[in-house]
Chains A and B, each alone.
Chain A
Amino acid sequence: MKKDQDNIDLIEQYLEGKLDKESMSKVEEHLETDKGFAEQFKTYKFLMDGIKYSGRKELHKSIREWDKELSEIPEETTPLISIKNKRWYYMAASILFFLVVSLVLYSNLNFGYDRLVADYYTRYDHYTNTKRSEKSEISEIEKIIGYYEYGEYQDVINKIIGLDESQKSDATDFILANVYQETGKYDDAIIIYSKVIISGNSPYENASKWYMALCYLSLNQPEQAIPVLQELENLKSSYSIKAKKLLQDLDS
């Protein structure tokens, strides 16, 4: 047992490069001449690699959990607290009052963008409905547009995520971004609008810019929205006039 433990220590130190040159050479010599030690070396190296692999996978699992926390919108929960001491009760009430006042002030400060977005935002509803013959089957994109029109957004997301790469296009990206915007996931929507814009020559490029600017305003980031709107204003598109007007409203 003791010898076994000593060998494990030696193998560990060798693998981590912690031995001096002379000891390293001895281990290597030992590996060539002692079959039993060579077997032991192979086994423990494999086990150690496996343990590291297991540790890495556990860390990855934790990161995925953190990711879920980030993606999910935190729900407000009201803890049930029994008030045993009136002093705590008054303190809690004061904090609550302070929070409410801050919230009202904060809401008022940011109300302008919410109102502006409400004035300018209308859901994109110009998807082309291709008519098909009675015999032909409904295509995936038609199903997606159908779900979208009826506001079944989770179905839209599931359908698009489940598509093969070959079936995905800037149209499906744009619909997905619309859905994220409709459901208040502005960060996700912005990422996908950017993708459509960058893809180049998409029929949805200008629409993506317009809706992306509105997402930025929903996130109270006018400094991000303004350059996008200015770009739109200078283009000859149906969004130029709207962009110009929105810029004027933002300026006033």
Chain B
Amino acid sequence: MIERIKNKDRENGLKEIYSKYRNEFVMWAVRHHSCTMEEAKDVFQQSVIIFYENIIYDKVSEITTKVKTYLFSIGKNKLLELMREKSKHQSQLNEMALVNGEIYYDADSDEYEDKLKIVKACMEKLGDPCKSILEQYYYHKKSMKEISEFLDYKNSDTVKNLKYKCLHRLKQICKSGNTFNEHLL
């Protein structure tokens, strides 16, 4: 499954995992963590994202337990975070989630996240193909070759040049918004 998600079948692989375990996770979360169904669903969605990021950022090369056990471990940590947040004992979510003794995820602080929202807005302005190229490269960790095949470009050099131009354009768009520099500081 890890190889499948890492390679070309990310969407279907993740969708399969989500569909297979959603109900079970939600029922388990509602039963054992006194959260609402909507909260449990949201936690599960975040857990699937963390699961995916741990795979693509090579934080986990192989899962020794079952996918379900691993996913539920992430979910359990996220539920505990939610509970802590709800009871206001902890103001920051900027902590590491421990799964099977290894560190996997560092959530962005709320303040920093607010700043990142500006870049996201600029990404929307940037549009495709730049948005896709940058997200595929920086978030999904796709190689230039994979991106060129995926977006039907001649070769990886074309995409590489385009990537620099897109990054430069993104910077220009963000700077033109005036607030960029003040948020950066």
Residues of A within 8 A of B (CB): 4-5, 8, 42-44, 46-60, 62-64, 66-67, 70, 187-188, 190-192, 194-195, 198
Stretch from B19-27, B62-70, B147-155 at the A interface: B19-27
Across the A-B interface, give the 6 residue pairs with the lowest CB-CB distance, nearest first.
A50-B119, A55-B139, A53-B116, A55-B135, A54-B120, A51-B138
Residue B184 contacts which of A4, A43, A56, A60 (CB distance < 8 angstroms)?
A43
Q: Give, as a whole number of angstroms, the nearest-CB distance from A203 to chain B.
A: 19
- Chain A residues with Cβ below 8 Å from B122 are 50
Q: Which secondary structure dominates chain A's binding surface?
A: helix
Residue among A4, A53, A66, A198 with the highest chain B CB neighbour number at 10 A: A53
| Chain B residue at minimal CB-CB distance from A192 | B37
Residue A59 contacts which of B52, B113, B174, B184 (CB distance < 8 angstroms)?
B52
Q: Is A70 touching B22 in the complex (CB atoms < 8 A)?
A: yes
Q: Give, as a whole number of angstroms, the nearest-CB distance from B42 to chain A.
A: 9
Question: How many residues of B are counted as interface, with CB atoms below 8 angstroms from the partner's CB atoms?
Answer: 43
Q: Which residues between 8 and 39 of chain B lie within 8 Å of chain A, taking CB atoms?
A: 11, 14-15, 18-19, 22-23, 26-27, 30-31, 37
Give Cα A2 to B73, complex, Å. 46
In the assembled complex, B140 has its CB within 8 A of some CB on chain A:
yes
Q: Is A49 touching B31 in the complex (CB atoms < 8 A)?
A: no
Give Cα A46 to B170, complex, Å. 11
Residue B171 contacts which of A47, A52, A190 (CB distance < 8 angstroms)?
A47
Identify 10 residue pairs between A and B in the complex whose beta-carbon atoms are under 8 Å apart, listed by A's number.
A8-B164, A47-B119, A47-B170, A51-B119, A51-B139, A52-B138, A54-B131, A58-B135, A60-B46, A192-B30
Give Cα A161 to B115, complex, Å. 31
Residue B119 contacts which of A53, A60, A187, A198 (CB distance < 8 angstroms)?
A53
Q: Is B164 touching A5 in the complex (CB atoms < 8 A)?
A: yes
- Chain B residues with Cβ below 8 Å from A52 are 138-139
**A interface footprint on B138-164 (CB within 8 Å = 1, 0 otherwise):** 111000000000000000000000001
Q: Is B139 touching A56 in the complex (CB atoms < 8 A)?
A: yes
Q: Is B167 touching A47 in the complex (CB atoms < 8 A)?
A: yes
- Chain A residues with Cβ below 8 Å from B119 are 46-47, 49-51, 53-54
In the assembled complex, B134 has its CB within 8 A of some CB on chain A:
yes
Contact A48/B184 with A59-B52, A63-B18, A191-B30 known, Cβ cut-off 8 Å: no
Give Cα A50 to B118, complex, Å. 8
